[in-house]
Structure 1
Amino acid sequence: MDDRSFAVAQAMILETKKYWTTKLYPALKEDYQHRASLSDAPPQTVNDVRGLIGGTTDYQVYAWLERHLQRFKYSGRYGLAPYHRERRDNFLAPLTGMTDNENLDVDPDFDQPKYYRAVDIHQHPGGVWSADTAGFEYERGARSTTPMMGGKHRDLHQRFTDLVAEGGTPSRVLDMGCGFGKSTQPFYESFADARIDAIDLSAPCVTLGAYTARQGQAKNTRFRQMSACETDYDDSEFDLVTSTMLIHELPPPQIEQMFDESLRLLQSGGRMVHLDFHELPDVFARFIHYGHGRRNNEPFMEPWAEMDVASVLKEKGFKDVTVKSFAEAEGVDAVNSPVWRFPWTVISAVKP
């Protein structure tokens, strides 16, 4: 495909996603509220909401577009996967020699977890780990994950890093599930004197992350292919363990393992701060969020949202546990948003 056709097609998908976000979602929410006001009792469960609007035309169109816009974005005629894979050599050329970079550690014999291989999360063809261009595909795709933010998507990560900085300046940081390094970059830029390790299951992603860090002359950061559930670091090696949009992609047993590993890795008084999707203000938001998980091939989103994470962390021995909604941009209403948004949540705790 030619570059112009690709760019136009992706722009059309993004504009349609904006319409879905700002027009279809509010109309669906208004219809739900009207139907709920006429019902004998307020809806109490996700199934109650489904019974009210699950069969309506508004919801069917909303759900169809959510599923298929993502499919078109990644694997359609002008999708991210075919575009990047047709140009494989061009995209990979700058990465030549990265395997010899001291700030990159990739294991060619790495055994991917079964849960990670079983589902093409985000509808990414083959998964974000399988193609050597997958890091570039994921990076381009992330630009339209939050359609209303556009070029401000980086601000989300910087806002989170700024929030973390309010609790003190770390000296040894572990970024779990770093992807292609978008979440890591504000940390190595904000904490230039800290030593930062970023880990992810995807070799193409950590390779791109290391390349981007090298281009930014960040010498304090190392990218490694590794599971957040089981690392090779020493006990008490870090004073900050963090992640962004990792937890909801883990099955419940692996979530608990990741929390256990975080506790092991932290120094006494060290902080664990994760940004993810969790706090849902009402049953309608829960219904929408669970549907998103199914349509976007994210099967662990629902059990994670159902988890009483504060109790789990306290039982594991953490203290000062907080679970709070997070505004991803200025002026965002995290409780009653007029447009669709992710339920951004900060989960933080301290090792005694």
Structure 2
Amino acid sequence: MFENIPKNRPFDAYQSFVLDCKLYWTRRMFPELRTRYEALAAAYPPEGPKDVAELMRDDTTAQMFGWFERHMQRMKYSGQHGLAVHYDQYRADIIRELDAELPDHLLTLDPEFQQPEYYTSIDIHQHPGGVWSDEIAGYVYERGAQSTAPMLKKSQSLFHRMTDQALTRAGREVKKVVDLGCGWGGSTQPYYEDHPDIHVTGVELSAPCLRVAAMRAAELQAQNVTYRQADAIKTGLPEGENDIVTSTMVLHEMPPSHIRALFKESYRLLAPGGLSIHLDFLMRDDPFRQWVHNGHSARNNEPFMVPLNEMNIAQAHRDAGFDDVEIVPFEEFDGALSPANTAWRFPWTMIIARKAA
């Protein structure tokens, strides 16, 4: 689809340049920043990220590291050949593709849907207007996701790895899955594409994202997926019918009150013995990386990353009805968790719980 959008060498070169800058930031600047931090920390060992911030306050590498991250993201979306700027000129073509007829079962949008205020009050990811307010925002967001984590390779799909983890840990035959905050459908696709006996429902706030997700499923002629516009804390789906309830990179985009409500909704949706598994970012055992993580929260317009990191997640699950909670690192590509990998990476973490049988 979108074959009417021509190749554009200046745009491609610009986006490749931004990606190369991000790889330099990831592979070269981050290890250098760590080296400089360790030299200072040897004399003044920090107890937490605030101590690290004070320690690195006047360090020029730290200042450049933060500047790079903030402005690379701005360039990616809003620069001269940024994603939002570039695709705006093909708006009519993109909307025409998105308006193509879909199978009746595939997509349910709510024209009266009211977006939560926390969601509309900030341009998350520095995406102009957020991912909900523009008809083509879902398409722009899908394109932008290709360079969110530059160390990932297309052959090592994070979404497929997460799906494999969920199905392996389910410990039962899986027939129904709910994917909360499914965005443009990347996290939903491995279920419906690779597992035709599983029916998956993708739930998402953003209508523009849902339209892209549904279009991709229609391209693959998927029969075992449904997308619906709803809040992940109140989906409107039947109670107690699902083997897995999952989300990918959703919790850190919600305030703690909504995160707790999402855990309760996960519990409600699950059948007895069903699995709740959420992939997100937690960094608690390394003051330096926690400082970098907190800085990313500010620089990337993602203000709820820090409150999530400070939450008692196990207690929030117990309050929702779950007994056992497991919080474990997630390896997004082979070797990501190896000590030999000195590059920056998101602190990917799986939060796993099971509803009592």
Please state which band the TM-score falls in when normalised by the shorter chain.
Answer: over 0.9
Question: What is the identity, as a one-letter code, of the residue corresponding to 1:164?
Answer: A
Alpha-carbon shift at residue 92 of structure 1 (Å): 2.2
Alpha-carbon shift at residue 145 of structure 1 (Å): 0.3
- 1:128 is matched with 131
- When normalised by structure 2's length, the TM-score is 0.94
Secondary structure at the aligned position of 1:319 is classed as coil
Alpha-carbon shift at residue 254 of structure 1 (Å): 0.4
Relative to structure 1, the CA distance from residue 118 to residue 228 in structure 2 (aligned partners, 3 Å threshold; closer, same or farther) is: same
- 2:35 is matched with 30
Distance 1:116 1:334 in 2: 35
Listed as ranges, the matches of 1:151-300 within 5 Å are 151-152=154-155, 155-167=157-169, 168=171, 169-300=173-304
Distance 1:334 1:348 in 2: 22
Question: What is the identity, as a one-letter code, of the residue corresponding to 1:306?
Answer: E
Match of residue 57, structure 2, among 54, 57, 61 = 54
Alpha-carbon shift at residue 334 of structure 1 (Å): 6.1
Q: Is the 8 A contact 2:107 2:228 kept in 1?
A: yes
- 1:9 is matched with 14
Q: Is the 8 A contact 1:143 1:150 kept in 2?
A: no
Alpha-carbon shift at residue 4 of structure 1 (Å): 1.1
- 1:343 is matched with 347
Distance 1:240 1:344 in 2: 20
Match of residue 143, structure 1, among 122, 141, 146 = 146
Question: What is the identity, as a one-letter code, of the residue corresponding to 1:58?
Answer: T
Alpha-carbon shift at residue 59 of structure 1 (Å): 0.5
Q: Is the 8 A contact 2:297 2:303 kept in 1?
A: yes
Alpha-carbon shift at residue 191 of structure 1 (Å): 2.3
Distance 2:205 2:84 in 1: 19
Distance 1:98 1:124 in 2: 28
Secondary structure at the aligned position of 2:31 is classed as helix
Question: What is the identity, as a one-letter code, of the residue corresponding to 1:345?
Answer: T
Listed as ranges, the matches of 1:34-45 within 5 Å are 34-39=39-44, 42-45=45-48
Question: What is the identity, as a one-letter code, of the residue corresponding to 2:160?
Answer: Q
Secondary structure at the aligned position of 2:187 is classed as coil
Query: What number of residue pairs does the alignment pair up?
Result: 349
Relative to structure 1, the CA distance from residue 63 to residue 51 in structure 2 (aligned partners, 3 Å threshold; closer, same or farther) is: same
Alpha-carbon shift at residue 151 of structure 1 (Å): 2.6
Q: Is the 8 A contact 1:144 1:150 kept in 2?
A: no
Secondary structure at the aligned position of 1:151 is classed as coil
Distance 1:22 1:88 in 2: 36
Q: Is the 8 A contact 1:319 1:349 kept in 2?
A: yes
Q: Is the 8 A contact 2:314 2:325 kept in 1?
A: yes
For structure 1, which segment, 324-333 or 291-300, has the greater mean C-alpha deviation from structure 2 after superposition? 324-333
RMSD: 1.6
Alpha-carbon shift at residue 58 of structure 1 (Å): 0.2
Percent identity at matched positions? 44
What does the per-residue CA deviation read over 1:139-172, in whole Å, with 9 as the maximum and x for residues that have no partner?
11000000111434x6111111111111244111
Distance 2:102 2:162 in 1: 30
- 2:110 is matched with 107
Distance 2:70 2:283 in 1: 23
Question: What is the identity, as a one-letter code, of the residue corresponding to 1:18?
Answer: L
Distance 2:165 2:151 in 1: 22
For structure 1, which segment, 297-306 or 42-51, has the greater mean C-alpha deviation from structure 2 after superposition? 42-51
What does the per-residue CA deviation read over 1:224-276, in whole Å, with 9 as the maximum and x for residues that have no partner?
11110111112112121000000000000000111111111111111101111
For structure 1, which segment, 291-300 or 211-220, has the greater mean C-alpha deviation from structure 2 after superposition? 211-220
Q: Is the 8 A contact 2:260 2:320 kept in 1?
A: no
What does the per-residue CA deviation read over 1:272-310, in whole Å, with 9 as the maximum and x for residues that have no partner?
011111144311111000000000000000000111211
- When normalised by structure 1's length, the TM-score is 0.95
Segments of structure 2 that go 5 or more residues without pairing to the other structure are: 1-5
Alpha-carbon shift at residue 320 of structure 1 (Å): 2.7
Segments of structure 1 that go 5 or more residues without pairing to the other structure are: none
Distance 1:193 1:12 in 2: 42
Distance 1:99 1:113 in 2: 27
Q: Is the 8 A contact 1:177 1:201 kept in 2?
A: yes
